Amino acid sequence: MGSRSDPTTDPALRSWVPVREGSDFPIQNLPYGVFRREAGDPGGIGVAIGDSILDLAPLAGEGLFDDSIPRPRALEAPSFEGVLALGRPTWRKLRGRISELLSAGSREIRDVPGLGERVLVPLDQADLALPVAVRNYVDFYSSLEHASNMGRMFRPDAEPLLPNWRHLPVGYHGRAGTVVVSGTPVVRPWGQTKDDDDSAPSWEPTRMLDIELEVGFFTGAGNQLGTPIPIQTAGDHIFGLVLVNDWSARDIQRWEYQPLGPFLGKSFATSISPWVVTLDALEPYRMAGPVQDPEPLPYLRADDASAFDIELEVGLSSAAMSERGFSPHVVSRTNFRSLYWSMAQQLAHATSNGATAGPGDLFASGTISGADPSSYGSLLELSWRGTRPLVLPDGSKRAFLEDGDTVVMRGWCGDGRERPRIGFGELTGTIVPALADHLADGRPTIQSPRE
């Protein structure tokens, strides 16, 4: 997977499409997304370049992908599941061809009258949709620092890590159907909660609404039922990465989660960034991950460097800050490379029992926390269960999220000067107040809208 021989990641490459300095989307990136030009539009597959989206379907219609993609109809669908199914050799050809079409010397688009206008859509005039209808969503727990912090807070008298943690990437299934795209408002959920000294649970809106800073990957190609994906080829099944905010209601989660794990405390919404950054674009930022001790079992042993040097940042704005035009206050900075279990290990483990993985599967890292308290990936850790509230620039304090708060996550590789900036764009979400007195007396205050 040598990046040096891959012309699409060459730092010297430039596009004829204008790209601002500091843009997340230079020609070395070329992330995929699904966009709508207007409401009701079924959606098209696009690639971000500078402040524009390159619309792939009309390019296919002009025959510009003939050699690079065997099934051009995959580019016409309102999700890119068809692209995911193509597999890495075709992903590479397609990426190579898009890079070629956009590179400074190419006139193939510009030479067709009107084509440039048809295929380049200003980013600020498009709605970005969920890029893939998520069919399975697995959430891991792969940050050593996060798992240790959770242990320290909730089992203070025991070893922070449970005995299995260093032997396998602990994970569980989340709700695929509530994975939503960046910008989707998050309604504060009602739920059952119970404090230790309460005799019975209460029904109330969560008072401990939290974020989880994560990175997820989408798979393609895939395996057949009963046939695991070995770790040596796991990377071939990873199409690309997104930022993930796994919203969590800690009080609901705490009461419900024994013995089968989190359920309603996390199933109300999981937000992902709209642009899927390909593993091919990230190759120059591949590096060795943390040393694993004890050495994992053979089926989890990889020879290759399998971590990626992705900077991550979480910003938070109160409603007052948003109204007054303040920038989000950065509450956490960390890096994806610190993750103990690699994506390849996660995928090999998840399929080691013969379970399938393929197009539409999203695997997320779990909360990414670094060693330093300023690098924790959840408010639960940042405020240490509310004992050390964060102070925002408007003077307000935060243990957990309040209504009107907006969370903005960002991720990127490279400094944008010596090394191209491979950015993820923004992952945002704003908290909407809970429904009023919802179901508290056993009668609905509102009906399900489709009834």
Q: Is 255 in the site for its own copies (CB under 8 A)?
A: yes
Nearer to its own copies, 163 or 325 (CB): 163
Residue choice 261, 386, 393, 404 for contact with its own copies (CB under 8 A): 261
Minimum CB distance to its own copies, residue 92 (Å): 14
Q: Is 167 in the site for its own copies (CB under 8 A)?
A: yes
Return the C-alpha torsion angle 54, 60, 62, 66, nearest 10: 130
Asked about 146 being catalytic, the answer comes back as yes
Position 385, amino acid: R
Contact 381, 157 (CB under 8 A): no
Q: Which residue has 């979480």 as its token pair? A: 314
Residue choice 361, 381, 405, 426 for contact with its own copies (CB under 8 A): 361
Tell me the CA distances in angstroms from 370 to 34, 148, 242, 288, one per residue in order: 32, 11, 19, 16
Minimum CB distance to its own copies, residue 263 (Å): 5
Residue choice 176, 319, 320, 390 for contact with its own copies (CB under 8 A): 176
Q: Which of residues 19-78 bind its own copies (CB under 8 A)?
A: none
Nearer to its own copies, 297 or 305 (CB): 297
The token pair at 332 is 């956490």
Minimum CB distance to its own copies, residue 340 (Å): 15
Burial bucket for residue 137 (CB in 10 Å: 0-12, 13-18, 19+) = buried
Nearer to its own copies, 28 or 90 (CB): 90
Q: Which of residues 288-307 bind its own copies (CB under 8 A)?
A: 294, 297-299, 301
Q: Is 267 in the site for its own copies (CB under 8 A)?
A: yes
Contact 32, 276 (CB under 8 A): yes
One character per residue 409-438, x = contact with its own copies (rule: CB under 8 A): -----------------------x--x--x
Minimum CB distance to its own copies, residue 76 (Å): 20
Q: Phi and psi dihedrals of 347, rounded to 5?
A: -70, -40
Residue 259: asked if its preceding bond is cis (omega within 30°), the reply is yes
Minimum CB distance to its own copies, residue 16 (Å): 36
Helices (H) and strands (E) in the chain, counts: 11, 26
The token pair at 408 is 């903005």
Q: Which residues are catalytic?
A: 146
